[in-house]
Structure 1
Amino acid sequence: MHQETSETVYSATIDDAHVDYNGHMTEAAYAQLFATAAAHLFRRLDLEAAYRRRTGCTMYTVETRIRYLREAHSGTKVTIGYRLLDRSDKRLHLYFEMFGPAGLLATYECISVHVSQREGEAARSTPFGPDHIGIFAKLVAAFEHVPKPDGIGKAPGLAHRGA
């Protein structure tokens, strides 16, 4: 079902090391799987180690939010898809979905910034090159017809319903 809302970037099987005393996947395991998916995406987009060596630039994640929607257990096969929701000349607004046999398990939203780490200079945000800007525009356009996912851009909080 997620092919309609995102493009698969990573798959894994949950193992016993990812499960806590409640019998379901730990918060850290969700974060690790989403971080691994993001690394796979950055590799696909030529924004990983080879890019850093070539350009002196890299990606920093500056904000994240994970929504835990269903439990995942040891042995569960999961796939993670992504969408590029928005971009600027220096930032990407990414959204990842984790699916298992029961459907959508969790979502991960993040803001990543393009950073210059050139030797002898302080790390600072810097614009992407024109090739990447063009790629990002196409990726945003690819899912423009799909409604924005629930919860995007919302801060966690409690809904108070009278005492």
Structure 2
Amino acid sequence: MPDETPLVVYRDRVRAEWVDYNGHLRDAFYLLLFSYATDVLIDQIGLDDATRRERARSIYTLEAHVNYLHEIKEGAPVRVDVRVLAHDAKRLHVYLEMLTDARAEPVATGEQMLLHVDTSGPKAATFDADIVVRIEALVEAQSRANLPPATHRARAIGLPSHGPR
């Protein structure tokens, strides 16, 4: 699993306590791994722990979607790649892909809407100028990287309609 430079990358291994009665990664822990990966992104854009405390700022997750594509067994190394799909003055729209050494394609994907927050309120807050510069630099680097399409994004959840029942 070689790193692709413009992606924000988080690495871990499936731990025994994360495995369910089916012998694979419990569904909740996919989201935990995605959450850890967004922490790496937050640090990379300049909102590390010290800055969050100093400025009374943080990132909250407004919405999250997970696609479980393949099972992952205990002990498997995992990598989560994060890319910023879009951003505005207060929000980041991110796409995450979870990969293992055993597969070329993602084993799971996630999509999240993140909100920049003034924790003294708490209330939504615009990103500080230095953070915006870092976000824009990351987005620019990712746009030049010829990354594969985010194929599992923005999927609606629902049952097919078969008319009135």
Normalised TM-score (structure 1): 0.86
Conserved in 2, the CA contact under 8 Å of 1:82 and 1:97? Answer: yes
Output the CA distance in 2 between the equivalents of 1:88 and 1:53: 23
Distance 1:141 1:56, change over 3 A: same
Q: Secondary structure at the match of 2:93?
A: strand
SS in 2 for 1:39: helix
Separation of aligned partners in 2, 1:158 and 1:87 = 31
- RMSD of aligned C-alpha atoms? 2.3
Matches within 5 A, 1:102-113: 102-103=103-104, 104-113=106-115
Runs (4+) off by over 3 Å = 1-6, 145-148, 158-162
Hey, what does 1:78 align to over in structure 2? 78
Question: How has the CA–CA distance of structure 1 residues 159 and 142 changed in structure 2, closer, same or farther, with 3 Å as cutoff?
Answer: farther
Cα distance in 1 for partners of 2:3, 2:107 equals: 15
Corresponding residue of 2:153:
152
Distance 2:46 2:5 in 1: 23
In 1, the alpha carbon distance for the partners of 2:68 and 2:2 equals 17
Q: Look up the match of 1:47.
A: 47
Q: Tell me the amino acid that sits aligned with residue 126 of structure 2.
A: P
How many residues align? The count is 159
Task: Tell me the secondary structure at the aligned position of residue 127 of structure 1.
Answer: coil
Secondary structure, in 3 states, of the residue corresponding to 2:35? helix
Q: Which SS does the other structure have where 1:115 is aligned?
A: strand
Deviates more, 1:88-97 or 1:143-152: 143-152
Cα separation, 2, equivalents of 1:141 and 1:40:
18
Q: CA separation in 2, counterparts of 1:127 and 1:8?
A: 22
Unaligned runs of 5+ in 2: none
User: 1:13, 1:147 → 2: CA distance?
Assistant: 24
Identical positions, percent: 33
Aligned 1:113-128 pairs, distance under 5 A: 113-118=115-120, 122-128=121-127
The residue identity in structure 2 corresponding to 1:107 is T
- The superposition leaves residues 72-110 of structure 1 with CA deviations (integer Å, 9 ceiling, x where unpaired) of 001111111110111000000111111012231101110
Q: Secondary structure, in 3 states, of the residue corresponding to 2:12?
A: strand
| Stretches of structure 1 lacking an aligned partner (at least 5 in a row) | none
Q: TM-score under structure 2 normalisation?
A: 0.85
Q: 2:162, 2:148 → 1: CA distance?
A: 28
Cα distance per residue 1:31-90 (max 9 Å; x no partner): 111111111221222213211221111111110001111110011111111101110000
TM-superposed CA distance for 1:24, in Å, is: 1.0
Which SS does the other structure have where 1:143 is aligned?
Answer: helix
CA distance in 2, matches of 1:157, 1:2: 36
